[in-house]
Homo-oligomer: A and B are copies of this chain.
């Protein structure tokens, strides 16, 4: 069960996160400040109706409110050296943010393409979407029958089911940050 789900503590936390006083929130929610005080002290167990009114003043959905305790505490920060190096063929380096891919909805990669490197003809991925931004150097991307040369600041986004290919045609290393959902490998 949600062992120590503490409605009062959670409401107080949420309210304070939004820099609202009890009175301010009460006014927005259409309840009295006393109600909020009592709820936050767990001196009452609010009705669904009044809790919903209170959360509307934030605003926050009931589902999000009750899902807060389901948020696991996981590793958030990753030093550059901590990024997971993924098998990169011929001059291509993929550094992944986070190791435990199974848990995550998003795969974020810091990619580096050596001069003349190429991901190969084509590859089909699972059903997913991906995109990225070119940071440095040049990258030629082919998606379906479209081809384009991108430079720093340029970006792409496509459905991964389309055949695609990445190539660095220049003499300089190319650097890209990309994201894919759901993770594809």
A155 touches B97 (CB 8 A): yes
> Is B124 a contact partner of A154 (Cβ separation < 8 A)?
no
A66 partner, pick from B61, B108, B163, beta carbons under 8 A: B61
- Residue from B110, B146, B157, B180 in contact with A78 in the complex, judged by beta carbons closer than 8 Å: B157
B-chain residues with CB within 8 Å of residue A7 when the two chains form the complex: 48
**How many residues from A make CB contacts under 8 Å with B?**
83
Check A106/B129 contact, CB under 8 A, given A47-B46, A124-B17, A159-B71: yes
Binds B, one of A25-33, A130-138, A166-174: A130-138
The CA of A15 and the CA of B157, in the complex, are separated in Å by 24
A153 at the interface (CB under 8 A from B): yes
Q: Choose one: B73, B144, B155, B161; the contact of A83 (CB below 8 Å).
A: B155
Nearest-Cβ distance from residue A164 to partner chain B, whole angstroms: 9
Q: How far is the CA of A32 from the CA of B106 in the complex (A)?
A: 40
Q: Known: A45-B47, A97-B133. Is A157-B127 also a contact (CB below 8 A)? A: no
Instruction: Please give me the residue from chain B that is nearest to A80 by CB atom.
Output: B153
Query: A1–B53 Cα gap in the complex (Å)?
Result: 11
Q: Is the CB of B2 within 8 A of A127?
A: no
**A78 (CB) vs chain B CBs: closest residue:** B155
Cross-chain contact of A76 among B98, B127, B143 (Cβ < 8 A): B143
Measured between alpha carbons, how far is A139 from B46 in the docked complex, in Å?
A: 40
Is A77 part of the contact surface with B, judged by Cβ < 8 Å? yes
Which residue, A60, A75, A97, has most C-beta atoms of chain B within 10 A? A97
Which residues of the partner chain B approach A56 to less than 8 Å between Cβ atoms? 1
